[in-house]
Amino acid sequence: MGADKAKAITLSELCTHIFPPPKGRKGKGVCVWCGKEVDEMFDIKVSDNFMGWCYFSFGDCMCRYCYAFFSKQSFRKKSWVATKSGVKFIKRDEIMELLLQPPKPPWFLYITKTGQKQGWLHCIHKVNLSSFSFTVAFEPFDFPVQTNISEVHALHNLLSFLRERKVTKTELLTGVFKMKTYERAIKEGYEEELKRAKKYAGKGIWEVMCHVIK
Residue number with CB closer to Zn ion (33 or 200)? 33
Transcribe 20-76 into DSSP letters. Answer: PPPP-EEEEEEBTTT--EEEEEB-----TT---GGG--S-SBB-HHHHHHHH-THHH
Build a one-symbol-per-residue string for 132-161: x at contacts with Zn ion by CB under 5 A, - elsewhere: ------------------------------
Residue number with CB closer to Zn ion (63 or 212)? 63
Residue number with CB closer to Zn ion (31 or 136)? 31
Residue number with CB closer to Zn ion (36 or 169)? 36
Which residue type does 158 have? L
Considering only residues 18 through 77, tell me which ones interact with Zn ion, judged by CB under 5 A: 31, 33-34, 63, 66
CB of 77 to Zn ion, least distance (A): 21
CB of 124 to Zn ion, least distance (A): 7
Residue burial 196-213, b: 16+ Cβ < 10 Å; e: rest: ebeebbeebbbbbbbbbb
| Dist CA 205 CA 97 (whole Å) | 15
CB of 38 to Zn ion, least distance (A): 7
| Dist CA 89 CA 122 (whole Å) | 20
- Count of residues of this chain found to bind Zn ion when the rule CB under 5 A is applied: 5
Sites of contact with Zn ion (CB under 5 A): 31, 33-34, 63, 66
